[in-house]
């Protein structure tokens, strides 16, 4: 695809899924929000979850993270059920990271201290903390901004800081809720490249965003959710040619 970062080739995934969502249903205030949701993500795969507003994407993320509990169904990581585990145990034991839709940095702290605040909780050895912080500052081109308060960063710079913070714990699975929000066109391509580089390191990524084009330009596979149900799943080329997806989400003239 034309918008896919250079030198990126979709892999053929033959290993067992690292994340499996099986038959998840969820009601809120007696209204059925999720209806038997099923999908799986392979190790090192970028997977998209798309759909109109109110389709159930955020509730799906909340169930995966443990913020909400499903009424029925289960979530598995590497074949092990995690539905009974609280948020912190999912993050620690199963290396699940999360980048929320809303800006989650500490605005009153500089970039270095934002990373340090997480590293001090997650890494016991002080030298290892410092090394990890320096590695991430360099990797995300934030070294020259490390003493700048997060409140004074651009939207794209803050987004890079948010992602860097999420990588302190070396997650194996990273959930990204609207990673392209409040990002200018130049940094948009930077964020895409960051996601692709995470894949090259073996991190599995689940992302959703309002921009279907930006999601489909980098994912290996995708599911479309509408009215709480998965209506189709497949590769980007399969998805955009699916009749149900065109009718309920993309429209007839959508392309990437």
Distance CA 230, CA 34 (A): 9
Q: Is it the case that residue 2 has pLDDT exceeding 80?
A: no
pLDDT digits (tens, 9 = 90+) for 11-38: 555 579 999 999 999 999 999 999 999 9
Least confident of 49-58, 88-97, 181-190, 198-207: 181-190
Q: Is it the case that residue 9 has pLDDT exceeding 50?
A: no
What integer pLDDT is reported at residue 12 of this predicted model? 53
pLDDT digits (tens, 9 = 90+) for 61-92: 999 999 999 999 999 999 999 999 999 999 98
- Supply the CATH classification number for the domain 16-95+171-256: 3.40.50.300
Please name which of 256, 243, 228, 253 lies closest in space to residue 51, comparing C-alpha atoms.
Answer: 228
Alpha carbons within 13 A on the beta-carbon side of 154: 9
What integer pLDDT is reported at residue 61 of this predicted model? 96
Distance CA 227, CA 9 (A): 33
Q: Is it the case that residue 245 has pLDDT exceeding 80?
A: yes
Tokens of 144: 């020259």
Q: Is it the case that residue 56 has pLDDT exceeding 60?
A: yes
- Which residues, 6+ apart, have CB-to-CB distance to 124 below 8 Å? none
pLDDT digits (tens, 9 = 90+) for 195-220: 999 999 999 999 999 899 999 999 99
Tokens of 53: 């507003």
Burial class (CB in 10 A: 0-12, 13-18, 19+), 126: exposed
Distance CA 104, CA 65 (A): 16
pLDDT digits (tens, 9 = 90+) for 86-140: 999 999 899 999 999 887 899 999 999 999 999 999 899 999 999 999 999 999 9
Strand, helix or coil for residue 167: coil
Distant-in-sequence contacts of 149-152, Cβ < 8 A, 24+ apart: 149/107, 149/108, 149/109, 149/110, 150/105, 150/106, 150/107, 150/108, 150/109, 150/110, 150/111, 150/114, 151/107, 151/108
Q: Is it the case that residue 10 has pLDDT exceeding 90?
A: no
Dihedral pair phi/psi, residue 25, rounded to 5°:
-125, 145
Domain with CATH 3.40.50.300 in the chain: 16-95+171-256
Least confident of 11-15, 167-171, 225-229, 248-252: 11-15
What integer pLDDT is reported at residue 48 of this predicted model? 98
Distance CA 74, CA 22 (A): 5
């Amino acid at each position: 695809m034309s918008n896919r970062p250079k030198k990126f080739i979709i892999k053929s995934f033959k290993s067992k899924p690292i994340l499996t969502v099986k038959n998840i249903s969820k009601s809120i205030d007696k209204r059925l929000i999720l209806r038997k949701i099923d999908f799986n993500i392979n190790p090192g795969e970028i997977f998209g979850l798309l759909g109109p507003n109110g389709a159930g994407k955020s509730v799906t993320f909340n169930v995966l993270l443990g913020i909400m509990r499903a009424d029925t169904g289960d979530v598995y990581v590497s074949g092990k059920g995690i539905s009974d585990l609280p948020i912190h145990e999912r993050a620690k034991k199963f290396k699940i990271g999360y980048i929320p839709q809303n800006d989650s940095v500490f605005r009153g702290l500089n970039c270095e201290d934002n990373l340090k605040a997480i590293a001090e909780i997650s890494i016991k050895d002080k030298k290892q903390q410092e090394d990890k912080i320096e590695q991430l500052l360099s990797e995300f081109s934030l070294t020259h901004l490390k003493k700048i308060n997060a409140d004074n960063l651009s939207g794209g710079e803050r987004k890079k800081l948010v992602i860097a913070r999420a990588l302190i714990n070396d997650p194996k699975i990273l959930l990204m809720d609207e990673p392209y929000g409040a990002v200018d066109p130049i940094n948009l391509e930077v964020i895409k490249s960051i996601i692709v580089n995470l894949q090259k390191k073996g991190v599995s990524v689940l992302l959703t965003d309002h921009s279907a084009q930006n999601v489909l330009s980098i994912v290996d596979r995708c599911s479309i959710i509408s009215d709480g149900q998965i209506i189709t799943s497949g590769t980007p080329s399969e998805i955009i040619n699916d009749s149900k997806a065109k009718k309920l989400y993309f429209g007839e003239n959508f392309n990437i």
